[in-house]
């Protein structure tokens, strides 16, 4: 295991910044569940992190607002596996994915003009609709 949680090519969170808490997990597992603390709660204080610059921290704050607790820590929980080690690595992977998703900047949409063919098609359908309505009209005054 390395000293860093590799998130992207440019972002690596030092494991010393990660806080792990173990507790008893619910769900399947029989009597084993009642005796072992396999559920892992992973906390990361991104505000004090050396892995992100200020603009990245703002981005994380906006994107992960729902996962930030009162102390300003990003909180991830994993408890669906039977061993503490597996839950620990699952929690780390979830945190890495959350950070990756938060760092993703969507491409700006570039407005495009309608093509000549699409303009002609639109005008032709308008003319066709007009002709249809004109044919329904009764112009005789007998």
Is 114 inside any structural domain?
Answer: no
Query: Residue 90, Cβ neighbours under 10 Å: how many?
Result: 18
Is 95 inside any structural domain?
Answer: yes
Cα(20)–Cα(88) distance, integer angstroms: 8
* pLDDT digits 0-9 by tens, 12-49: 888 888 999 888 777 666 666 667 788 899 999 988 88
Is 121 inside any structural domain?
Answer: no
Residue 62 belongs to domain with CATH number? 3.30.160.20
Is 122 inside any structural domain?
Answer: no
CA 121 to chain centre: 40
Is 111 inside any structural domain?
Answer: no
Total tally of structural domains belonging to the chain: 1
Is 39 inside any structural domain?
Answer: yes
Residue with tokens 């003319």: 127
The predicted model scores a pTM of 0.69
| Rg from Cα positions in the chain | 29
Which residue range(s) make up the domain with 12? Answer: 4-103
Is 63 inside any structural domain?
Answer: yes
* pLDDT digits 0-9 by tens, 72-94: 889 999 888 878 899 999 999 99
């Amino acid at each position: 295991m390395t000293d860093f949680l590799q998130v992207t090519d440019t972002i690596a969170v030092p494991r010393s910044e990660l806080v792990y808490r173990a507790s008893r997990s619910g769900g399947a597992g029989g009597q084993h569940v009642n005796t072992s603390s396999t559920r892992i709660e992973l906390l990361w204080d991104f505000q004090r992190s050396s892995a992100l610059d200020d603009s990245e921290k703002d981005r994380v704050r906006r994107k992960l607002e729902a996962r930030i607790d009162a102390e300003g820590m990003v909180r991830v929980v994993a408890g669906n596996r039977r061993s503490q080690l597996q839950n620990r690595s699952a929690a780390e992977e979830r945190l890495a994915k959350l950070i990756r998703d938060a760092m993703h900047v969507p491409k700006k949409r570039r407005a495009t003009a309608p093509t000549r063919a699409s303009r002609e098609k639109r005008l032709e359908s308008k003319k066709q609709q007009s002709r249809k309505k004109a044919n329904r009209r009764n112009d005789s005054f007998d």
